[in-house]
């Protein structure tokens, strides 16, 4: 291609069908990497590891998840650079992929969510908070939501999520009130054109000001946990959140201890035929030798 490597890599990703929002995020982070590593063509695994060691996240050094994200990004970039002869060696084959714990839901308490909503005013940050807590939107979805995507007549939001997939999310009455008067069709719903990172920073600051340590994405977890606690339908919640698999949705749900206790207590094996002698009250067994069928054939037994 012969141009700037970040631009050329973006063209490569577009040809592969990667979503524009994902390409923009990759390019923004690669700009940081190339700026801080001007000799990136001659980088070694050790020099990249040291650079990652010095990177800082929201709460200090990179988490295992974020470091793993960087490794994945650089593996893809250097693999492309090697194939296009933008560099002679790919050092990423020797990078250490951090061991990551299973994804855990991280909602804030319902009482904290109520405080955050009460303190959030009718400003861009307040609308972003409401969109996350009442519709479960991601920072990028909040950033890209325009007034033409809000159908108040039918009570629906038209949300463009990851992979440019469009989904319809019901407009919660409280969210409708929080959004206030509509703007022009092409105007952002939150009132300003913030990039996803800016949305996340402002929401995190609002949480900090309310005495709630954490980050913006926790509000999406809070929405998912609250919705599941009231409805218990993981498949419907999958569609609302815009997940491809319900397995991903399950990672967003924190099930209360009381719900777990109710689940165990709901188990019952009472069946016609009476309880087995000496069995605890409520425990019964099925006769292992059922009577012959009146039709002259043995009944079908479950294996």
Which are the contacts of 220, defined by CB distance < 8 A and separation ≥ 6?
A: 132, 136, 137, 138, 241, 252
Whether 165 is catalytic is: no
| Residues 166 and 158 sit within 8 Å (Cβ to Cβ) | yes
How far is residue 290's CA from residue 147's CA, in Å, rounded to a whole number? Answer: 66
Active-site residue 4, yes or no? no
**From 138, 202, 221, 238, the catalytic residue:** 138
The catalytic position among 220, 221, 228, 238 is 220
Residue among 66, 215, 217, 254 flagged as catalytic: 217
Backbone angles phi, psi at 27, to 5 degrees: -65, -40
Catalytic, 78? Answer no
User: Could you tell me if 46 and 59 are in contact, meaning their C-beta atoms sit under 8 angstroms apart?
Assistant: no
- Catalytic residue among 162, 168, 172, 215, which? 162
Structure tokens at 237: 């919640």
Q: Tell me whether residue 220 is one of the annotated catalytic residues.
A: yes
Q: Enumerate the active-site residues.
A: 138, 162, 217, 220, 243, 252
């Amino acid at each position: 291609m012969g141009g700037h490597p970040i631009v050329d890599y973006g063209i490569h990703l577009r040809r592969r069908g990667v979503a524009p929002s994902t390409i923009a995020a990759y390019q923004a982070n690669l700009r940081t990497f190339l700026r801080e590593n001007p000799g990136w063509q001659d980088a070694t695994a050790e020099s990249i590891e040291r650079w990652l060691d010095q990177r800082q996240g929201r709460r200090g050094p990179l988490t295992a998840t974020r470091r793993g994200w960087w490794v994945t990004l650089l593996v893809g970039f250097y693999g492309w650079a090697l194939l296009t002869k933008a560099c002679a060696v790919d050092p990423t084959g020797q990078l250490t992929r951090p061991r990551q714990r299973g994804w855990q839901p991280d909602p804030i308490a319902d009482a904290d969510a109520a405080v955050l909503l009460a303190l959030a005013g009718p400003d861009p940050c307040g609308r972003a908070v409401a969109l996350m807590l009442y519709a479960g939107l991601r920072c990028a979805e909040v950033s890209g939501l325009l007034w033409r995507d809000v159908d108040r007549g039918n009570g629906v939001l038209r949300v463009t999520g990851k992979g440019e997939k469009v989904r319809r999310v019901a407009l919660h009455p409280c969210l409708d009130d929080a959004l206030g008067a509509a703007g022009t069709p092409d105007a952002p719903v939150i009132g300003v054109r913030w990039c996803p990172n800016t949305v996340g920073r402002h929401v995190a600051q609002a949480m900090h000001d309310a005495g709630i340590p954490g980050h913006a994405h926790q509000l999406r977890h809070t929405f998912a946990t609250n919705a599941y606690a009231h409805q218990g339908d993981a498949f419907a919640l999958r569609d609302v959140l815009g997940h491809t698999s319900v397995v991903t949705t399950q990672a967003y749900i924190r099930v209360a201890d009381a719900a777990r206790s109710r689940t165990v207590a709901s188990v019952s094996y009472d069946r016609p035929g009476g309880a087995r002698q000496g069995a605890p009250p409520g425990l019964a067994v099925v006769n292992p030798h059922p009577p012959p069928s009146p039709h002259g054939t043995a009944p079908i037994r479950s294996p």
